[in-house]
């Protein structure tokens, strides 16, 4: 088969299975609103859970950082790309989250890749929740370690995996809040089981940090645990981008020596680090926004009425509406778009087969009448379909 035939066949299969992915060039968006091709939409597809992406103090901090440092870091953190702005942000994160050290990365994907491939190698064992993010599973497969997946949020399944002996190190990996289902992991029980078997626990809390726990410290704080490795990302509740890994000092030194994403990637712009330091401040004092988000979640769940569709049992900002059929999921997403509401249809392979869904995300920036518009439009679709 030629290269052209291979690619064409793959593309045709995607289209036939209603699994075609498409990027849309939007004109601008925040946690509540989105503009696309001159039209205004209510935005229920953003991860801007606290509405901080356009917060004036965060925007001003980035501008001031750019005036002081310029718009780029100029190199890897091991060369010229590690500034006082980065140091201050790492120090602020470590103190806030209760760890000796924090290390900055350009993305959550990079952080997960860096940690897993640095820590694990042939002869070691990775036990990851079955619904772990692609960045976790990809890194696990590339590390050379033996990857085994335990049943989603099942402590019993993890115990069975841990009971099987291994000669190398064991790393248990889960998420604080799962990105496609919106549910949380039983972190306290998972940590207890991991410790009983001398395994380390790694938690990716991309969707929990900022919105759960005291001062938004995340899922681990809410569950009263401190895993050996905590990954937090800034593309959700913080309204920016990037990530940090929290750990002890020796582990941080080990990553500085071995983590290829730290050594060989240009570091985030110092201006971004300045903005993130301000965003941390805003997250810490965002109790009112977190309460508003909880109210929006409760209101949405209490009032939704969509027979033949399954609303996942999530109490987080991520509210998946399971439809099953790829085509019908796209039909509903397109119907809502015609009503001025932006919601994304998520289809396999991002989610398991026959579990296509609308991934509805709520923000503290949403007002009650925004949610009412969404609910009414969804009800209209059910009525006419």
Burial 127-150 (b: 16+ CB within 10 A, else e): bbbebbbebbbebbeebebbbbbb
Determine the 3-state secondary structure of 32 from DSSP: coil
Q: Is 47 a catalytic residue?
A: yes
List the catalytic residue out of 30, 112, 153, 179: 179
List the catalytic residue out of 86, 101, 236, 366: 236
List the catalytic residue out of 55, 133, 261, 366: 133
> Distance between CA atoms of 250 and 91, rounded to whole angstroms?
16
Half-sphere exposure of 33 (CA within 13 A, CB side): 8
Q: Is 133 a catalytic residue?
A: yes
Structure tokens belonging to residue 258: 């071995």
* Cβ proximity of 211 and 49 under 8 Å: yes
Contacts of 236 (CB under 8 A, 6+ apart): 47, 48, 49, 206, 207, 209, 210
Between helix 287-303 and helix 368-384 the angle, nearest 10°, is: 20
Closest CA to 273 of 29, 81, 111: 81
Q: Is 278 a catalytic residue?
A: no
Q: Is 179 a catalytic residue?
A: yes
Beta bridge partner(s), residue 174: 203
Count of CB atoms within 10 A of residue 340's CB? Answer: 13
Q: Is 175 a catalytic residue?
A: yes
List the catalytic residue out of 175, 221, 223, 370: 175
List the catalytic residue out of 30, 46, 47, 296: 47
Strands 356-361 and 344-346: antiparallel
Half-sphere exposure of 330 (CA within 13 A, CB side): 12
Determine the 3-state secondary structure of 3 from DSSP: helix
List the catalytic residue out of 55, 207, 261, 366: 207
List the catalytic residue out of 90, 129, 204, 205: 204
Q: Is 101 a catalytic residue?
A: no
Q: Is 376 a catalytic residue?
A: no
Contacts of 141 (CB under 8 A, 6+ apart): 147
φ, ψ dihedrals at 224, nearest 5°: 75, 35
Query: Among all residues, which ones are annotated catalytic?
Result: 47, 133, 175, 179, 204, 207, 236
């Amino acid at each position: 088969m030629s290269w052209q035939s291979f690619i064409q066949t793959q593309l045709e299969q995607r289209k036939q299975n209603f699994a075609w992915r498409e990027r849309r060039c939007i004109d601008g968006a925040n946690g509540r609103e989105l503009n696309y091709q001159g039209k205004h939409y209510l935005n229920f597809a953003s991860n801007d859970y606290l509405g901080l992406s356009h917060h004036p103090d965060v925007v001003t901090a980035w501008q001031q950082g750019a005036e002081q440092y310029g718009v780029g870091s100029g190199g890897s953190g091991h060369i010229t790309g590690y500034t006082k702005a980065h140091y201050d942000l790492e120090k602020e994160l470590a103190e806030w989250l209760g760890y000796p050290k924090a290390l900055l990365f350009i993305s959550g994907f990079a952080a997960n890749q860096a940690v897993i491939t640095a820590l694990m190698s042939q002869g070691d064992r990775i036990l990851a929740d079955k619904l772990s993010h692609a960045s976790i599973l990809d890194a696990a497969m590339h590390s050379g370690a033996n990857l085994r997946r335990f049943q989603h949020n099942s402590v019993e399944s993890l115990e069975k995996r841990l009971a099987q002996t291994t000669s190398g190190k064991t790393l248990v990996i889960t998420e604080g809040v799962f990105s496609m289902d919106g549910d949380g992991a039983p972190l306290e029980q998972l940590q207890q089981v991991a410790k009983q078997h001398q395994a380390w626990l790694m938690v990716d809390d991309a969707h929990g940090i900022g919105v759960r726990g005291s001062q938004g410290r995340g899922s681990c704080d809410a569950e009263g645990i401190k895993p050996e490795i905590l990954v937090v990302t800034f593309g959700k509740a913080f309204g920016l981008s990037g990530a940090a890994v929290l750990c002890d000092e020796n582990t941080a030194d080990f990553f500085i020596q071995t983590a290829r994403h730290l050594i060989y990637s240009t570091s985030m712009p110092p201006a971004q680090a300045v903005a993130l330091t301000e965003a941390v401040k805003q997250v810490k004092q965002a109790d009112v926004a977190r309460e508003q988000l909880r109210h929006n979640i409760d209101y949405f769940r209490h009032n939704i009425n969509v027979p033949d569709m399954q609303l996942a049992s999530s109490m987080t900002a991520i509210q998946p509406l399971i439809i099953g059929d790829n085509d019908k999921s796209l039909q509903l997403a397109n119907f809502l778009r015609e009503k001025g509401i932006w919601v994304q249809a998520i289809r396999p392979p991002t989610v398991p087969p026959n579990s296509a869904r609308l991934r509805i995300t709520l923000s503290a920036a949403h007002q009650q009448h925004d949610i009412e518009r969404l609910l009414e439009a969804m009800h209209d679709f059910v009525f006419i379909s």
